[in-house]
Amino acid sequence: LILCHLDHPFLHMIPDTTEEYLPVQDVSVDISLGAFLRDRLGDEWVEYIGEPLLAGLYAGAIDKLSLLATWPFLVTLMREHGSLVAASRVIAMVGRSSSTTGGFVSVRGGLELIIERMLEQIYEHRSADIRLGARVLSITKDGHRYHVTAETEGGNRTVDDVDGAIITVPSFVARSILKPIIELPDTGVFYQSTATVVLVYERHAIDIDLEEASGFLVPRPEGMTITATTWMSSKWPHVSPPEYAVIRAYVGRRDQDQALTLSDADLVRSVTKEVGKLLGTDACPIRHYITRFDNAMPNYAVHHLCRVEKIEATLKQECPGIFLAGAGYRGVGLPDCVEQGTRAAKRILDSLFQV
């Protein structure tokens, strides 16, 4: 069990070992995240700290994830400081000497408010035609223009002529949409299914100080249903009144997702039992909410960035005006996706107006 503290970056958990005396590795050619960390910090650190913290963000298996596509800054730290241990000392000193309001930031009222505000801005300036509930089936080419065929929720089909497009769906869906005009190379991305189970307890039913941490991670060798929890009412106090404790549990990671086949009732029962055991309570939650995410978490395989560059070069040559962005390509986090979307928007404007 790994408690995650608000001001506790994972590099603080790197022990003083002989890693500091290892030579700086040459990782100009991509390797797996697991291979890099096992060589420097050992199997036990990887399995009980490294994988839950680093691969957990992808619901992935650490030995199947690309180092350069997921955590390239580890390589930068090793090169700049000579070792990960030396880097951890520097970061720890900087952290102690700087003031911070915490490592987690969100929007009061939920991230959906960002999307709603974007829609308001677009409608206000009449700068786009937004079609909700329309699924793009295919894109075909006619000279320098493209035909986009979409299907609405009512089953009606529309065909629009466009000069270009930014495609932000999962990579396997993008390949299907573009198949009529180009056979895109495979990204090699594996999409892992997951689920979240939110449990709402009466605060007095949990006899630990939830303010001391923001959740916990469960290492793979424990063989549990849950892979992690976030203590939402501690991490983001605005989500509930103080008399309740809200805990979100995560289920499913690569090669350890059998629990996803359980019914909702059985899944809640299993998660409640494990959370209760780890928190020292036999209380039943007064409410629960389950959300399942099928094929939702992209796992980048070794040499992922090389494949993405090949795909981008193919599109530029064969389908000018078509660009890809999103979690399946150059980062799964919100900042990564925003950056990709911004870059794709600039590129499509440059291509259309020949800037």
CATH 1.10.10.60 fits 2-97, yes or no: no
Q: Which CATH architecture has domain 112-189+300-353?
A: 3-Layer(bba) Sandwich (3.50)
For the chain, give the mean pLDDT: 89
CB atoms under 10 Å from CB of 93, counted, come to 10
What mean pLDDT comes out for the span 61-65? 98
Confidence tier at 7 by pLDDT (50, 70, 90) = very low
Distance of CA 327 to the CA centre of its chain: 7
Task: Tell me how far apart the alpha carbons of residues 145 and 70 are, in angstroms, rounded to a whole number.
Answer: 36
Angle at 333 between CA 49 and CA 290, to 5 degrees: 80
Please tell me the least confidently modeled range out of 122-131, 156-165, 279-288, 334-343: 122-131
Q: Is 175 left (phi over 0), alpha (psi -120 to 50) or beta?
A: alpha
Give me the pLDDT at residue 167, please.
96
Model confidence at 224: pLDDT above 60: yes
* Through-space distance between the first and last CA atoms of the chain, rounded to whole angstroms: 54
Task: Considering only residues 203 and 109, tell me which one the structure prediction assigns the higher pLDDT.
Answer: 203
Q: Please list, residue by residue across 251-284, b when 16 or more beta carbons sit within 10 angstroms of its beta carbon and e when fewer do.
A: bbbbebbebbebeeeebbebbbebbbebbebebe
Which sequence spans correspond to the domains of the chain?
2-97, 112-189+300-353, 194-295
* Six-digit token string for 111: 């991230």
Q: Which residues fall within 8 angstroms of residue 274, CB to CB, at 6 or more apart?
A: 224, 225, 226, 249
Q: In DSSP terms, which residues pair with 289 in a beta bridge?
A: 198
* Six-digit token string for 172: 């396997």
Q: Which residues fall within 8 angstroms of residue 140, CB to CB, at 6 or more apart?
A: 146, 147, 149, 180, 181
Task: Tell me how far apart the alpha carbons of residues 57 and 55 are, in angstroms, rounded to a whole number.
Answer: 5
Model confidence at 254: pLDDT above 60: yes
Q: In DSSP terms, which residues pair with 151 in a beta bridge?
A: 135, 157
Model confidence at 351: pLDDT above 90: no
Give me the pLDDT at residue 156, please.
87
Task: Tell me how far apart the alpha carbons of residues 154 and 142 are, in angstroms, rounded to a whole number.
Answer: 27
Confidence tier at 99 by pLDDT (50, 70, 90) = very low
What mean pLDDT comes out for the span 163-169? 94
Give me the pLDDT at residue 10, please.
54
Model confidence at 16: pLDDT above 60: no
194-295 belongs to which homologous superfamily?
Protoporphyrinogen oxidase, mitochondrial; domain 2 (3.90.660.20)
Model confidence at 115: pLDDT above 70: yes
For 304-328, write each residue's pLDDT tens digit.
999 999 999 999 999 999 999 999 9
Kind of pairing between the strands at 134-142 and 226-231:
unpaired
Task: Considering only residues 277 and 18, tell me which one the structure prediction assigns the higher pLDDT.
Answer: 277
Please tell me the least confidently modeled range out of 14-23, 292-301, 309-318: 14-23
Give me the pLDDT at residue 6, please.
42
Model confidence at 104: pLDDT above 80: no
Q: Are 268 and 254 in contact (CB under 8 A)?
A: no
Amino acid at 352: L
Please tell me the least confidently modeled range out of 193-202, 220-229, 246-255, 275-284: 275-284
Task: Considering only residues 137 and 210, tell me which one the structure prediction assigns the higher pLDDT.
Answer: 137
